Amino acid sequence: MTISADEIVMNSEFDIINRYFLRSAHNASLGIGDDAALISCQPDTDLAISVDTLVASHHFFPDVEPRSLGHKVLAVNLSDMAAMGATPRWVTLSLTLPKIIAHDNAWLAAFSSGFFALADQHQVELVGGDTTQGPLSISVQIMGEVEREKALRRSGAKLGDDIWVSGFVGEAALALRYLQQKTMLTAEAAASCLPALHTPIPRVSLGRALINVAHSAIDVSDGLVADLEHILQGSQVAATIELDHIPCSSRLKDKLSEGGADYQLAIDCLLAGGDDYELCFTVPENKRIVVTQLAQQVGVRLSRIGKIVPGEGLTVLNNNRDPLIFNKKGYDHFLD
């Protein structure tokens, strides 16, 4: 990372907070500036809380564009709110910064700009956090509200439910493999799929719309198979999905038809790639028209990919409707 002399300012911890992250709180009784924030929830709601930590060289490249990073660290938490059908309201942000970044005003300005642009889009307030020195690591805790006993959960899938997924699957994983030089893409194709990795779109409006429609939901962060299996385990059911029903871009479809190494790479991206931050959810068969209407209402592509069935585990059918054998199921922080 190269920093010009003009960009270097000896920032203290409180300089960083005051210059880049201090904002007035409108939806909290007390925001940044005291030992703790004070928030008041709406009556008849449950408080949904989630936290994610992103570590440089593990979850993102150290030289990633800081505005995109600011967007992504919040987007992954907003996606958790979406999966619960919650309205995101407040966040805290903990930054562990190397000295070179702590004194880089251009980096800090770009990061905070990306973070607050997405926060403002979803009317989310930063109400606290922490800053410290060390290897680059970012933790965001998010809090949201959902109507009492209405939250979408992993444990609600019912026999006969259709399985749906939003958007496209596998794009972020394909972009990552391109950056790792594990696959070739044209400049145009790379430019089209890289945003899925760097600036994912959390499906907050969809999650809210699925309340009273979906029986269960989860966001696809570790891979479609791994995350769908969380629903199956929580609900004590099984599922069958069809490979050719999983929505993907023409870039991945081309690789699926090529055979050889690129075919396996495409399978891995679709089934186990992760970082999609799309929603996978189950809905009674008699609500297919409702789901189609929701897709138009929120402006998100929704694809029906399979069915909840009796038994245990997940079966993926290939294009010939034969069970597909695959070993890698998704990302694991301690195994990958």
* DSSP letter string, 264-313: HHHHHHHHH-----EEEEEE-GGGHHHHHHHHHHHT--EEEEEEEESSSE
Q: Assign 31 a pLDDT band (cuts: 50, 70, 90).
A: confident
Q: Assign 117 a pLDDT band (cuts: 50, 70, 90).
A: very high
- 60: pLDDT strictly greater than 50: yes
The confidence score (pLDDT) of residue 334 equals: 39
Annotated binding site for substrate: 59, 275, 331
* Per-residue CA distances from 101 to 110, 116, 235 (Å): 12, 19, 45
Higher pLDDT, 330 or 128: 128
Question: What's the CATH architecture for 5-147?
Answer: 2-Layer Sandwich (3.30)
User: Cβ(133)–Cβ(10) under 8 Å?
Assistant: no
- 5: pLDDT strictly greater than 50: no
**Class in CATH terms, 154-317:** alpha beta
The confidence score (pLDDT) of residue 335 equals: 45
* Strands 278-283, 216-220: pairing kind: antiparallel
Closest CA to 239 of 161, 301, 175, 165: 161
- 332: pLDDT strictly greater than 70: no
Higher pLDDT, 273 or 329: 273
Helix (H, G, I), strand (E, B) or coil at 120: helix
Per cent of the chain over pLDDT 90 is 74
Helices (H), the chain: 13-16, 66-84, 99-102, 105-121, 171-179, 187-198, 204-209, 224-235, 250-258, 260-272, 288-298
Q: Enter the pTM of the model.
A: 0.91
The confidence score (pLDDT) of residue 257 equals: 78
Higher pLDDT, 30 or 133: 133
Cα–Cα dist 216/246, whole Å? 18
Rg (CA), the chain: 21
pLDDT tens by residue, 237-282: 999 999 999 999 988 988 887 666 788 899 999 999 989 999 999 9
Averaged pLDDT for residues 158-174:
97
The confidence score (pLDDT) of residue 1 equals: 47
Cα–Cα dist 207/175, whole Å? 26
pLDDT tens by residue, 188-220: 999 999 999 999 999 999 999 999 999 999 999
* Least confident range of 66-70, 222-226, 272-276, 322-326: 322-326
97 pairs with which residues across the strands?
A: 133
Annotated binding site: 35, 50, 52, 59, 80, 129-130, 154, 219, 221-222, 275, 331
The confidence score (pLDDT) of residue 184 equals: 87
Annotated binding site for Mg(2+): 35, 50, 52, 80, 130, 219, 222
Closest CA to 216 of 177, 158, 274, 159: 158
User: Cβ(107)–Cβ(154) under 8 Å?
Assistant: no
- 164: pLDDT strictly greater than 70: yes
Cα–Cα dist 324/318, whole Å? 6
- 107: pLDDT strictly greater than 70: yes
Averaged pLDDT for residues 91-101:
94
DSSP state at residue 9:
-
Domain ranges in the chain are 5-147, 154-317
